[in-house]
Amino acid sequence: MSEFIITTLGRCGSSMLYSVFKANKINMAGPKRETNHLYPDDIVKQFGTAVKVIFLYGDPIDVVLSVKQRGEEKGIDWVKLHFEHLKADFSDYDKIYEKDSLCLERMFDEFNKPQEFDLLIIGYEDIWNKIDIISDFCRKKIKLPEFSKDKTFLRLQRRSNLAESESQMLQKTYASLIKKISKS
- 126 within 8 A of 182, measured Cβ to Cβ: no
Furthest CA-CA distance within the chain: 51
Report the SS3 class of residue 100.
Answer: coil
H or E, element range at 57: strand 51-57
Q: Which fold has domain 3-183?
A: Rossmann fold (3.40.50)
> Which residues, other chains included, contact 112 with Cβ-Cβ below 8 Å and sequence gap of 6+?
121, 180, 184
Report the SS3 class of residue 117.
Answer: coil
**Predicted confidence (pLDDT) per residue in 55-70, tens digit:** 999 999 989 998 988 8
**Predicted confidence (pLDDT) per residue in 84-133, tens digit:** 989 999 999 999 999 999 999 999 999 999 999 999 999 988 999 999 99
Return the higher-pLDDT residue of 162 and 53: 53
**Predicted confidence (pLDDT) per residue in 26-53, tens digit:** 888 765 544 578 999 999 998 899 999 9
State the alpha helices, DSSP H only, in the chain. 14-23, 40-47, 60-74, 76-85, 104-111, 131-138, 149-160, 164-173, 175-183
Query: Residue 154 above 80 pLDDT?
Result: no
- Please state, rounded to an integer, the average pLDDT across all residues of the chain: 88
- Domain spans of the chain? 3-183
How buried is 130 (Cβ within 10 angstroms: 0-12 exposed, 13-18 middle, 19+ buried)? middle
Global confidence as pTM: 0.90
